[in-house]
Amino acid sequence: MEIKLQAIRFEPTEKLQDFVQKKVGKLEKFSDEIRKVEVSLKVVKPETAMNKEASIRINLGTELYAEKVCDTFEEAIDNCLDALLKQLQKNKEKHQNR
């Protein structure tokens, strides 16, 4: 599984990059079909709270996508992953019913 991290308008710390790699890497447990994961991080409005936006796109034949805005990137990534796990579960059930 290939993980691509893109940071828009800021330079991510090594700690943040490691966090993304660790969290997103866990997606492999839920589906063997995941080929590529694109993570995009951006600061929306620097002077306000709730200004960290994370979006995650999963390519596994079909495309799954989640985007969240929170106080921290870590929280936004966790929320995106929660949403994507639900999507992965639905996708898996859909394919089993065929």
The amino acid that residue 37 corresponds to is: V
Tokens of 61: 């034949």
Residue 36 is part of which domain span?
Answer: 2-96
Q: What is the spatial order of strands in the sheet that 52-60 belongs to? A: 2-8, 36-43, 52-60, 62-70
Each residue's pLDDT tens digit, 65-93: 999 999 999 999 999 999 999 999 998 88
Two tokens, residue 44: 């929306």
Q: Three-state DSSP class for 31?
A: coil
* Mean pLDDT across the chain: 92
> How many domains are contained in the chain?
1
Kindly report the CATH number assigned to the domain that includes residue 58.
Answer: 3.30.160.100
1 has pLDDT over 90: no
The predicted model scores a pTM of 0.91
CB atoms within 10 A of CB 65: 14
Q: Three-state DSSP class for 95?
A: helix
Phi and psi at 37, nearest 5°, equal: -125, 125
